[in-house]
Amino acid sequence: MSGDPRRHAPAAARNREPILAVLRGWLPARGLVLEVASGSGEHAAHFAAALPALDFQPSDPDPAALASIDAWAEGRPNIRPAVALDAAAPGWPVDRADAVLCINMIHIAPPAATEGLLRGAAACLPAGGTLILYGPYRVGGRHTAPSNAAFDADLRARNPSWGLRDLEAVSAQAAAQGFGAPDIREMPANNLMLRFRRP
């Protein structure tokens, strides 16, 4: 309807249930989940409804996204007001969380955003804390499907700093920030979910 700030991301409707199924086993039973690059806010609303013992802190650098997130969160007591957060920026507005979640950001952001995400997550997570990433990756320097290769080419044509990242490179960057090797779950549509933990 007119004036409704809520955005709709078709991918969120498709992937939210498979992601939630993995999150049920990977997130802590209780605590605060910081979502980086929350986008429309549909994921946060869906996960918060399904996991009422967890509190969710959505974030995004885009003011229109923040309005959409808060509109989707209306009536859900375990979603905090969205905060402006640029993953690449030093000094995040959230200084502690029990888990950090980031869905479909790394391939549509410059490499500095990945570096900042890993650095920021390491700074706000306690020992044993969890960083969970979802999206498409290259593995062993290769695309895992022709559709991913085409998607990567399209992204790089739109912005040369975008594109699918190498799983091994992201894992090495995470290790440099003190994370262990990732747990890896294959997901629909040639995506991966990665869980990095702080020792």
Tens digit of pLDDT per residue, the chain (199 long)?
458 999 999 999 999 999 999 999 999 999 999 999 999 999 999 999 999 999 999 999 999 999 999 999 999 999 999 999 999 999 999 999 999 999 999 999 999 999 999 999 999 999 999 999 999 999 999 999 999 999 999 999 999 999 999 999 999 999 999 999 999 999 999 999 999 999 9
Q: How far is CA 44 from CA 141, 142, 168, in A?
A: 32, 31, 28
Q: Name the H helices within 74-158.
A: 111-124, 146-158
Q: How far is CA 147 from CA 47, 134, 164, in A?
A: 28, 17, 12
Residue 93 is given by DSSP the state S
pLDDT at residue 3, rounded to an integer:
85
* Cβ pair 84, 38 in contact under 8 A: no
181 CB-near residues (< 8 Å, 6+ apart): 171, 175
pLDDT at residue 118, rounded to an integer:
98
* Cβ pair 136, 148 in contact under 8 A: yes
pLDDT at residue 114, rounded to an integer:
97
CA-wise closest residue to 99 among 26, 174, 40: 26
pTM of the complete model: 0.96
CATH superfamily of the 10-30+81-197 domain: Vaccinia Virus protein VP39 (3.40.50.150)
pLDDT at residue 135, rounded to an integer:
98
Where do the structural domains in the chain lie, given as residue ranges? 10-30+81-197
Would you report the helix, strand and coil content of the chain in percent, each value rounded to 5? Answer: 40, 25, 35
Q: How many C-beta neighbours within 10 Å does residue 161 have?
A: 12
Residues, the chain:
199
pLDDT at residue 1, rounded to an integer:
45
pLDDT at residue 2, rounded to an integer:
56
